[in-house]
Every structure is written in structure tokens, then in C-alpha cells.
Amino acid sequence: MENEQKIKTMVRETYAKIAEQSKEENQSSCCGTGGCCDDSDYTIFSDDYTSEEGYHPDADMGLGCGMPVKFSRIKKGDTVVDLGAGAGNDAFVARAAVGDEGKVIGVDMTPEMLKKARANNEKLGFKNVEFLLGEIENMPIQNDTADVVISNCVLNLVPNKLKAFSEIFRILKTGGQFTISDVVLTEKLPKPLLAAAEMYAGCVSGAMLREEYLEVIQKTGFKDLNLLSEKNIVIPEEILSKYLSPEDIAKLKNNGAYIQSITVSAVKPTISCCGPSGCC
């Protein structure tokens, strides 16, 4: 528990700093931590949102690793919860999908990010979008609230992923679904790289092995688990060379991609025998 709190504190402090930076600064500093990557552009996670309906540049911090709304099957009138909403990028794209009759709730544990999201929403004048301060493992949202839950490159930062997915299960309506983009590993990272990853705002330091990640989702009680997209992520050699020998770098490259961005979806079933509350 103490270690989990240390991780949360590190993530919260890091993203508080990121909230004060521009998208360009974030894109040139390995997920926004600043000062760790020389002057090279290491935008290895984020996707281009600029052509998406509902896109607002001020809300785009360049911190995602996928486009969950694109795969989410959101309908007009739905209630959508965005986990780790940041400055509101995915929330505003989701708002375009739900329309005036729907609702979007963004949750973030960093007050500085929350302030930025609320300021963006005030400028846009949306009455059906709100941003709440809270942690994913203990969300300030009632049971059976959401038709759809989305999240973009945030669950890898959460220490207790089983509890996080249990919370997602709790707030979803029966028959509701989540669509989540996240970072996973195809093999364990070498210890020097694991330590280095912590300097990059936890972008991969908290990532699970892909098989274990999918097992956690199923263990939580979700059904109809689908892999919607995947892409390999290659850490630039300029970073690898700071922590690994040339021989170790060559070995990693020969083993293939060991970090992936994936987008997955699953459904909260009508009858669950092994949901977050236990077996029936």
C-alpha cells in the first residue's frame, strides 16, 4: 500500500508539471516529464486527433497512446466516463458523439489537470460535460452510471489494476462497455530500462505483460473482450544507449517489439457470476 501511494504521488507531481507545459513541450520530452530526452522528438505514443469531430487544440496535450472514442460505439444520448481525462481531449471528442442529449464525465486525480480541463470546458460552453477530482481505483461516481467508459494511456499508471477494472465494472450499466487504449509489454523490461521509464511519467514503468493485462479484465467479470487495435512502440536508440550496452540493445531488437499500444473493449454482462463483488 505504501509503495502504491509513492507511485501515485510521483505520477500526480509529474502530471502537475505537464499541465503547465504546451503540447509541443510534452511531445519532445518522452510523455511530458521534461528534461529527460535531449532535444529529440520522441512522440512515440500519441495519435493525431486533429481531424476528429469535437477536437479542441487547447485540450490536446499529446499524451495518449490510442484513440478509444473512435472504436467505442458511443451513441447519441449516452453517458460516457473518461478516466484520466487530463485537459479534456478525449472527453470533448466523446461529447461530439453523445450530442446535446448525452453526458460526459471526466475523472482525473491531478488538480492542475482538472483546472485546465474545466477552463477549456468553460470556454467551449458545454453544459453536459463535467470534470471530477478522483482516483480510478475509487471513483466519485455512482453505480450503474455509464453506458461507455473510455481511457487513453492512463491505466498503465494505476498501481492496482484489478481494483481499477473492478471500479470500471461498478460504474458501468449492465450491458455497458469500456474501450481503453493502454500500454502493455510483450516481455519484461530489463531493470535499467524499467528505472528509466519512471522518468517518462510512468508511460511504461507501470505497464503489465499483455497476457496478464487481459487476464485481469476477464477476472473482473467482463465478457466479449476484443482487441481492436495494436501497434508496436520502439524506444529510440538515443534513450536505450543511456542504460544498455550495444550488445543488450541488439538483443532487444532481435527479440522484436516489447512495448505495445493496444485498444481493447469488453462488456459488463447482463448476468455475472464473478463480478467485482464476488461469485454468486
As a whole number of Å, the CA-based R_g of the chain is 18
| CATH value at residue 32 | 3.40.50.150
Q: What is the DSSP letter of 241?
A: H
For residues 211 and 69, give the distance between their C-alpha atoms in angstroms, rounded to a whole number: 24
227 domain residue, yes or no: yes
- How far apart (Å, rounded) are the C-alpha atoms in residues 130 and 118? 7
Q: How far apart are CA 19 and CA 2, in angstroms?
A: 26
Residue that has been written with the C-alpha cell 466523446 in this structure: 94
pLDDT number for residue 141: 98
pLDDT in tens, the chain (280 residues): 557 777 677 777 777 777 777 665 555 444 444 434 433 333 456 788 999 999 999 999 888 889 999 999 999 999 999 999 999 999 999 999 999 999 999 999 999 999 999 999 999 999 999 999 999 999 999 999 999 999 999 998 888 999 999 999 999 999 999 999 999 988 887 777 766 555 545 456 678 899 999 999 999 999 999 999 998 887 777 777 878 888 888 887 777 667 889 999 999 998 755 555 555 4
At residue 247, the pLDDT reads 86
Cell numbers given for 166: 473492478
**pLDDT digits 0-9 by tens, 92-147:** 999 999 999 999 999 999 999 999 999 999 999 999 999 999 999 999 999 999 99
Number of domains, the chain = 1
Q: Classify residue 272: in a domain, yes or no.
A: no
Q: Under 8 Å CB-to-CB from 270, ≥6 apart: which residues?
A: 174, 175
Residue 8 lies in a domain: yes
Domain range spanning residue 68? Answer: 2-267
Give a yes or no: residue 278 inside a domain: no
Query: Is residue 9 situated within a structural domain?
Result: yes
* 62 part of a folded domain: yes
Residue 244 lies in a domain: yes
Q: What is the pLDDT of residues 51-75, one digit of tens each?
A: 999 999 999 988 888 999 999 999 9
DSSP string, 171-212: HEEEEEEEEEEEEEESSPPPHHHHHHHGGGTTTTTTPPBHHH
Q: Is residue 159 part of a domain?
A: yes
Report the pLDDT value the prediction gives residue 198, as an integer from 0 to 100.
52
Kindly tell me the burial class for residue 49, based on how many C-beta atoms sit within 10 Å of its own C-beta (0-12, 13-18, 19 or more).
buried
